[in-house]
Amino acid sequence: MSGNVQLLNDTLAAAKSEGRAALIAYLPAGFPTVTGGIEAVKAALDGGADVVEVGLPHSDPVLDGPVIQTADDIALRGGVRIADVMRTVREAHEATGKPILVMTYWNPIDRYGVERFTAELAGAGGAGCILPDLPVQESALWREHADKHGLATVFVVAPSSKDARLAEITAAGSGFVYAASLMGVTGTRESVGAQAEDLVRRTRATTDTPVCVGLGVSNAAQAAEVARFADGVIVGSAFVKRMLDAPDDAAGLEGVRALAADLAKGVRGQA
């Protein structure tokens, strides 16, 4: 079965044709439970997200700040497995018809098996993977199997990336380029900063692939700011925080849905 890279490409192109950035939400699988995590992904999509990244919880998430680490810890203590991540992708995609990616560090895929992982992700209707710690020069095996199964390979670029390195990364990736807005870990911040705009400009000079900005966006005003210069706005910690701060699961889901609706206005310049 082929994955949904084309659906991802079409979704990003449709947002561009509407004169706006796409809204990409991140939520970890298995948080607060596997079923609760699926409902959270669906709530983000129902609220207005165009795409969702489902996080594969990891005990040492080098890119993720304390909010997502807390959610990952809850998911891991709950016994979440890769099969639960695939279930999350499958059920969220079947319920919404929207593109779902997995964001994961390399070690779990390496241990699980690249062929097995890509085949199962495609079978679940997944659109691809974001791989923040897989070096491009070591990615040939992954990309071979991802391409075979119709999955996007999304790499992360940072403000420290030199122009030659950007060209190398964007030539190897597909779907979109994840531009980290600053050096550091995920989390909400007061401002996203000028570094992000410069990084998008430099990245676009190397590729026609959409460039989406993550790290630090938490409200509609920030989403509107980033949407001025990026093809997509990625929001993670703010969604997870709504769930962590909620008095119960139902309130958490409503918080996710409301934040997605607010951010969707932001990427449309209606904030």
Q: State the catalytic residues.
A: 53, 64
Question: What SS3 state is found at 136?
Answer: helix
Q: Kindly compute the dihedral angle of the four CA atoms of residues 243, 248, 250, 252, in this order, to the nearest 10 degrees.
A: -10
What tokens were used for 199? 């990084």
Q: Residue 103 carries which DSSP code?
A: E
**DSSP states of 25-62:** EEEETTSS-HHHHHHHHHHHHHHT-SEEEEE---SS-T
The residue whose two tokens read 């700040």 is 65
Report the candidate in 85, 2, 96, 90 with the shortest Cα–Cα distance to residue 43. 96
- E strands, the chain, are 22-28, 51-55, 100-103, 128-130, 152-154, 156-157, 177-180, 211-214, 232-235
CB 89 within 8 Å of CB 126: yes
CA pair distance 41, 269, nearest whole angstrom:
24
Give the distance from CA 47 to its chain's centroid.
16
Q: How far apart are CA 109 and CA 125, in angstroms?
A: 18
